[in-house]
A = this chain, B = another copy of it.
């Protein structure tokens, strides 16, 4: 059996995550890696047993022993490897968000269209989480009638605030409706099967007030009307007591909820404080299974020629929606 040979572009947390997932997939192997710092590339090669190491992405994508690449760099560095890999006729798995500007997104979309025989997808891994996948399946089977409202709440614990402010000051991090929002905007479009029209947003830098200087916030609340007369409520925040991503899809005949109580595991306790269920501490604990499943699905697409469900256009539309929410927030502030 031939294994799909992968090159990893970017060796941060996400690059390592995908390398690990690929190693656990029996039909894939990681044969190449690319990053800016040569010493780090070498360390990565040694740790994961990867034969080829590069500091130039063109060399990686043009290595004939590379069948597919995973783009796991910062969002503003997605375009170059995507365009190069399209030209080199490789399969591409690109982390979300697709890019940082609509222009870049559209340029990628165009290149992907011209590389149509190959697989391309964006890493909206929530779609592959067993609970979200089952929710979608149930909706397709009519379990809740017609979906009319998507509610997406994505919260990080306040312990992340300081590091985030530093990242914002350095210009590395984007505002929360764009960073965390990219998942919920994709889910909203996926579940509602429509696109956003009007948005209204509120919120503030309530706790980490320094964020306000950068047009950023630690809590954002938004309501969006969709073109098919459905609605999305999207709430993002960084002042929660735990890592908490909760979603609800309200239909005309029933309602589905995902992770309303973000239980850490199966343990619960009777204590003097009451009945206590500890909560998820980080997004890794929550999404490990989903990260593996999305890579497994992508490998399967490459092997069978099936096209991934999530397209470059979904990447563009998710970003558009994020920017719309962020703009609605800024507009609201001006009043």
Interface residues of A (CB under 8 A from B): 23-24, 26, 129-131, 134-135, 138, 143-144, 146, 148-149, 198, 200-204, 206-207, 219, 221-223, 225, 229, 231, 233, 235, 237, 239-242, 244, 250, 252-279, 332, 335
Contacts and interface: CB of A to CB of B under 8 A. Distances in A.
B258 A270 contact: no
A272 B134 contact: no
B148 A206 contact: yes
In the complex, the 3 A-B pairs of residues with the closest C-beta atoms, listed nearest first: A200-B200, A223-B223, A131-B266
A231 to B, nearest CB: 4
A254 B275 contact: no
Contacts of A263: 275
Given A202-B223, A231-B202, A332-B198, A266 B270 contact: no
B278 A273 contact: yes
Given A130-B265, A223-B233, A237-B250, 9 more contacts: A143-B269, A200-B223, A201-B223, A202-B225, A219-B250, A223-B223, A258-B266, A262-B275, A274-B276
Contacts of A273: 271, 273, 276, 278
B275 A277 contact: yes
B268 A257 contact: yes
Contacts of A335: 198
Contacts of A242: 270, 274
A275 B252 CA distance: 16
A205 B80 CA distance: 48
Contacts of A223: 200-202, 221-223, 233
A156 to B, nearest CB: 13
Nearest to A20: B26
B240 A269 contact: no
B252 A257 contact: no
